[in-house]
Structure 1
Amino acid sequence: MTLLQKVVDGLIRLSTAFGAAALVLVALNILTDVIGRLFGAPLAGAQDISQMLMVLIVFGGMALCDRHGGHVSMDVFEPWFPKRMNAWLDAISALIGAVIFAGIAWTVYESSKLSLMLNLATNIIQLPKAYFQWALSAFAALTAVSMLLRSIRLALAPADEAPEHTEEVL
């Protein structure tokens, strides 16, 4: 299990690097477009590029968000439940999240087949959509695996090792 966790952690770091690189590219894309507009020559396809890179930004960092417990959770009844029950509820919610992200990965992958068959592309500069769908599918699958491992880890953890939840006031 620890070897699998190390491999998944390495893939999470890689997906985060892709997301960070996409974030830099979006910033450069917008900067180039704004400067080009100043001189009457906006960047052709800036909107297409930004939209496709947003896929990499959002889903590239999703597994890292899960790994650090960054997803929003509402623990209304947590103070009244025993520590072990809270750990099991966390494990079940991570498992549900894994199923949801696996469903997203599968659905987007199936959609990419249609995009290839119909040669679907972005509106302005005709970027093929399938490549970005494959990236989204891979990142969603990685998030599903990460959530599944977290679910197993929480379910098998001894009662005294159940994680404490941190509260953030809005």
Structure 2
Amino acid sequence: MLHTMRNVADRLIGLSAFFGTLGLIVEVVVILIDVIGRAFGHPMFGSQDLIMMTMVILVFGGMALCDRQGGHIAVDLLERRYPRVMNRAIDILSALLGTVIFVFVAWAVFDSAKLSQMLNLSTNLLRLPKAWFQWGLCVLSLITAFGMLLRAIELTLSGRDVRHELESKQ
């Protein structure tokens, strides 16, 4: 059961990272075109809108992968002094706290997306519907929360930490 959930989570994390990568590519291309256009006196129309919206996809698209690989900031000054059981408990609690945080982010943005849709809110210049990007942020936040919850469950039931498995492979 856990193995199947891990496979599903890893595929969702990969999909999330793929969208983050697309966001990064779009971001770089838009900035490049805008900078070159500014040099010739013709900046790209709507570049601020595109940059703002794709930044959301870029950041939240990579968040689940960052957690999966253990890339979040961790203060480990006292880790060597704590017993192994306490370090494991701290890892479980931090994964659960991360799950709660990302579920609340998704929930808050979901409410905001409903409001954006109701008021037909859009970006300033290109009139891109804000709700689309907010729905995407909700999904990407929930994927991150799912990955963190699964990590907490794996740590609790089997002691397996997927972050350390990736370190040993490298």
Q: What's the TM-score once normalised by structure 1's chain length?
A: 0.90
Counterpart in the other structure of 2:99 = 98
Alignment partners' CA distance in 2, 1:69 and 1:2: 19
Counterpart in the other structure of 2:90 = 89
Gaps in structure 2 of 5+ consecutive residues: none
Partner amino acid, structure 1, of 2:91:
D
Alignment partners' CA distance in 1, 2:53 and 2:148: 25
Deviations 1:56-104 (A, max 9, x none): 0000000000001111111233222111111111011100110000110
1:11 paired to 2:12 = yes
- Say which is worse superposed, 17-26 or 149-158, in terms of deviation: 149-158
Q: CA RMSD in A?
A: 1.7
Alignment partners' CA distance in 2, 1:7 and 1:51: 30
Counterpart in the other structure of 1:76 = 77
Gaps in structure 1 of 5+ consecutive residues: none
1:158 Cα offset (Å): 4.5
1:60 paired to 2:41 = no
Alignment partners' CA distance in 1, 2:155 and 2:4: 17
- Say which is worse superposed, 53-62 or 117-126, in terms of deviation: 117-126
SS state at 1:127 partner: coil
Partner amino acid, structure 2, of 1:131:
W
Q: What's the TM-score once normalised by structure 2's chain length?
A: 0.90
The number of aligned residues is 162
1:154 Cα offset (Å): 1.1
Alignment partners' CA distance in 2, 1:35 and 1:81: 54
Alignment partners' CA distance in 2, 1:39 and 1:72: 41
Alignment partners' CA distance in 1, 2:78 and 2:158: 21
1:1-170 equivalences under 5 Å are: 1-158=2-159
% identical aligned pairs: 51
Deviations 1:12-66 (A, max 9, x none): 1111111111111111101111222222221111011001000000000000000
Alignment partners' CA distance in 2, 1:76 and 1:26: 37
Alignment partners' CA distance in 2, 1:158 and 1:71: 20
The runs of at least 4 aligned residues of structure 1 exceeding 4 Å deviation read none
Partner amino acid, structure 2, of 1:102:
V
1:142 Cα offset (Å): 0.4
Alignment partners' CA distance in 1, 2:6 and 2:111: 27
